[in-house]
Chains A and B, each alone.
Chain A
Amino acid sequence: MPKRGAPPEVNAGSMADIAFLLLIFFLVTTTIETDAGLDRMLPPIEPPETDVVIKQKNIFEVIINKNGQLFADEELVEISQLREKAMGFLDNGGAPSGSADYCNFCQGSRNTSSSDNPTKAIISLKNDRETPYGTYITVQNEIVGAYNDLRNREGQRLYKRDFTSMEAAYLNPETAESVRDELKDKVKAIQDLFPQKFSEAETSNN
């Protein structure tokens, strides 16, 4: 039999079936992972020096009770005010201008009854066993946010770029090596200006 003008078309209906099978396989066996969160360092189990003298004014104590109420620096505050208060504490720079601890980039109120300079300022977080985890995360978020806002301010002042964007670019494995090396020094410099001295005390059983 002579061939027809055009060869017969391949039936494409079964291609869709193959594609559906593969699609169903992937739908069933994979998940869209959440892979971001608040990075924290836990304190080591034996404190390195137990008898370092820390002045009371250099500690900012945050306590959350089981109802989710917040005590910051001995007064009852709303969680929405926490970020400002933490920033005020860290940025205070209470050391007088002649002394070795003076910080010249602090823009806070320079109150002598609050922290001396950001490298000595410690924030300590304490919570109850019945505190809901969501509230705890909100408080952590606000405190980490206070550190990030101050570091961003310094990043803009020194390098005209937000600290968080520099850090994200540095951590991203896709950026070029040379760019990452120069970012590394800048990121470290800003981290040293406002070190994250944020510790978590043992929980209580109120």
Chain B
Amino acid sequence: MSKFSKKKDGELPAVSTASLPDIVFMLLFFFMTVTVMKDSSLKVENILPNANEIKKLEKKDRIIYIYAGRPTQEYQKVFGTETKIQLNDKFANASDVGDYILQERAKKPQELQNVLTTSLKVDKYANMGIISDIKLELRKVNALKVNYTTYDGDAFRNLQ
């Protein structure tokens, strides 16, 4: 009888909370592996269109990003509702794109300078006019490798 302790009446044992941090650590590891540090916050609306014949952009250090779209709500009062280009963290005009590419190219090491890809992240409701201006500027600085960045999906959904 001394081996069995008296049964407690009506009192539930306390729930052990030692495993709570494990759950949180799992979420943390997920975020650490799946995400990348943001290098610029988006000031333009950027709902990318869908496409399914896409290729992955493997090497992050060989990519120069150009964002385009209408400014977000908080910037619309100052910058209007026309489609604008965002380079790094600032709004820019099409004529600034050439200088920007040359600057970014100069920052890269010598052997990578000829294999840079320009990733165009454009809102799907933007008009082609500004895109053609960007493409003309890219051709002038000989940045001919271009990637129209999209989500993976059915391309016909862009038409709605």
Contacts and interface: CB of A to CB of B under 8 A. Distances in A.
A173 B60 CA distance: 12
Interface stretch (B74-82, B107-115, B117-125): B117-125
Contact of B128 (A16, A36, A127): A127
Interface in B54-82: 54-60
Given A38-B54, A135-B158, A26 B31 contact: yes
A23 B31 contact: yes
B18 interface: yes
Interface string A107-133: 000000000000000000001111111
A136 interface: yes
A133 B124 contact: yes
Interface in B32-73: 32, 34-38, 48-60
A45 B139 contact: yes
B53 to A, nearest CB: 4
A30 B36 contact: yes
B147 A40 contact: yes
B21 A15 contact: yes
B31 A20 contact: no
A85 B60 CA distance: 36
A37 B37 CA distance: 20
B52 to A, nearest CB: 7
B139 A42 contact: yes
A19 B159 contact: no
Given A32-B36, A38-B150, 9 more contacts: A29-B37, A33-B36, A36-B54, A37-B120, A41-B144, A80-B156, A132-B126, A133-B125, A145-B53
A168 interface: yes
Interface residues of A, number: 57
A145 B52 contact: yes
B20 A16 contact: yes
Given A31-B38, A45-B140, A138-B159, A132 B21 contact: no
B25 A129 contact: no
A177 B18 CA distance: 46
Of listed A79, A132, A168, A171, residue having the most chain B CB within 10 A:
A132
B92 interface: no
B68 to A, nearest CB: 8
14 contacts: A12-B17, A12-B20, A16-B21, A18-B21, A31-B38, A33-B36, A35-B56, A36-B55, A43-B144, A44-B144, A79-B156, A130-B128, A130-B129, A168-B56
The 8 closest A-B pairs by CB, nearest first: A134-B158, A129-B129, A30-B35, A37-B149, A19-B24, A134-B124, A15-B21, A141-B155
